[in-house]
Structure 1
Amino acid sequence: MPLLTEAAKGVYVIAVTPFLDNGDIDWTSVDRMVDFYEEKGVTGMTILGLLGEAPKMTSEESKAIAKRVISRAKVPVIVGVTAPGLAPMRELADSVMEFGAAGVMVAPPWTTKTDDQAYAFYTSVGDALGKTPWVLQDYPLTTNVTIAPKVIDRIVRDVPTCVMLKHEDWPGLAKISALRASSDKGETRRISILCGNGGLFLPEEMGRGADGAMTGFCYPEMMVGVVENYAKGDVERAHDIFDAYLPLARYEQQQGIGLSARKYVLAKRGVISSAALRKPGGALSPKDIADVERLLARQAKRLTEIGA
Structure 2
Amino acid sequence: MITGSMVALITPMTSTGDIDWPALRKLVDFHLQEGTNAIVAVGTTGESATLSVSEHCMVIKHVVDQINGRIPVIAGTGANSPHEAIELTEAARVAGVDACLLVTPYYNKPTQEGLFQFHKLIAESVSIPQILYNVPGRTACDMQNDTVDRLASINNIIGIKDATGDLDRGRDLIARCSDRIAIYSGDDPTAMELMLAGGKGDISVTANVAPKLMAQMCAAAIAGDRERAQQLDNQLLPLHSSLFLESNPIPTKWALYEMGMITEGIRLPLTVFSEALRPQLKQAMQQSGIIQ
Normalised TM-score (structure 1):
0.87
Task: State the match for 2:276 in structure 1.
Answer: 287
Contact kept in structure 1, 2:102 and 2:133, CA below 8 Å: yes
Where structure 1 has 5 or more consecutive residues not aligned to the other structure, the ranges are: 1-6
Residue 161 in structure 1 maps to residue 161 in structure 2: no
Contact kept in structure 2, 1:173 and 1:208, CA below 8 Å: no
What does 1:104-119 align with in structure 2 at a 5 Å threshold?
A: 104-110=100-106, 111-119=108-116
Q: 1:104-144, CA deviations, whole angstroms, 9 ceiling, x for partnerless residues? A: 11112232443222212221222222x11111001111112
Q: From the superposition, tell whether residues 211 and 223 of structure 1 become closer, same or farther in structure 2 (CA, over 3 Å).
A: same
What does 1:215-294 align with in structure 2 at a 5 Å threshold?
A: 215-217=204-206, 218-256=209-247, 258-272=248-262, 274-294=263-283
Measure the CA separation in 1 of the matches of 2:200 and 2:234.
20
Count of aligned pairs: 287
Q: 1:43-67, CA deviations, whole angstroms, 9 ceiling, x for partnerless residues? A: 1111111110111111111111111
Residue 145 in structure 1 maps to residue 141 in structure 2: yes
Paired AA for residue 76 in structure 1: P
Question: 1:97 aligns to what SS in structure 2?
Answer: helix
Task: State the match for 1:4 in structure 2.
Answer: none
Task: State the match for 2:76 in structure 1.
Answer: 80
Question: 1:35 aligns to what SS in structure 2?
Answer: helix
Task: State the match for 1:200 in structure 2.
Answer: 189
Once the two structures are TM-superposed, the CA of residue 183 in structure 1 deviates from its matched residue by 4.1
Q: From the superposition, tell whether residues 235 and 29 of structure 1 become closer, same or farther in structure 2 (CA, over 3 Å).
A: same
Contact kept in structure 2, 1:135 and 1:165, CA below 8 Å: yes
Once the two structures are TM-superposed, the CA of residue 260 in structure 1 deviates from its matched residue by 2.1
Q: Pick the aligned partner of 2:25 from 31, 47, 54.
A: 31
Paired AA for residue 281 in structure 1: L
Measure the CA separation in 2 of the matches of 1:119 and 1:93.
17
Please say which structure displays the higher CA radius of gyration. Answer: 1
Contact kept in structure 2, 1:76 and 1:102, CA below 8 Å: yes
Task: State the match for 2:45 in structure 1.
Answer: 51
Paired AA for residue 96 in structure 1: A
Structure 1 moving runs of 4+ over 3 Å: none
Paired AA for residue 190 in structure 1: R
Measure the CA separation in 2 of the matches of 1:67 and 1:56.
18
Q: Which moved more, 1:263-272 or 1:146-155?
A: 263-272
Paired AA for residue 277 in structure 1: I
Task: State the match for 1:3 in structure 2.
Answer: none
Contact kept in structure 2, 1:180 and 1:190, CA below 8 Å: no
Task: State the match for 1:95 in structure 2.
Answer: 91
Task: State the match for 2:167 in structure 1.
Answer: 173
Measure the CA separation in 2 of the matches of 1:279 and 1:113.
27
Contact kept in structure 2, 1:36 and 1:271, CA below 8 Å: no
Q: 1:61-90, CA deviations, whole angstroms, 9 ceiling, x for partnerless residues? A: 111111111100121111111123222222
Contact kept in structure 1, 2:195 and 2:201, CA below 8 Å: yes
Where structure 2 has 5 or more consecutive residues not aligned to the other structure, the ranges are: none
Once the two structures are TM-superposed, the CA of residue 17 in structure 1 deviates from its matched residue by 0.1
Normalised TM-score (structure 2):
0.92
Residue 214 in structure 1 maps to residue 203 in structure 2: yes
Question: 2:27 aligns to what SS in structure 1?
Answer: helix
Q: From the superposition, tell whether residues 287 and 128 of structure 1 become closer, same or farther in structure 2 (CA, over 3 Å).
A: same
Once the two structures are TM-superposed, the CA of residue 94 in structure 1 deviates from its matched residue by 1.7
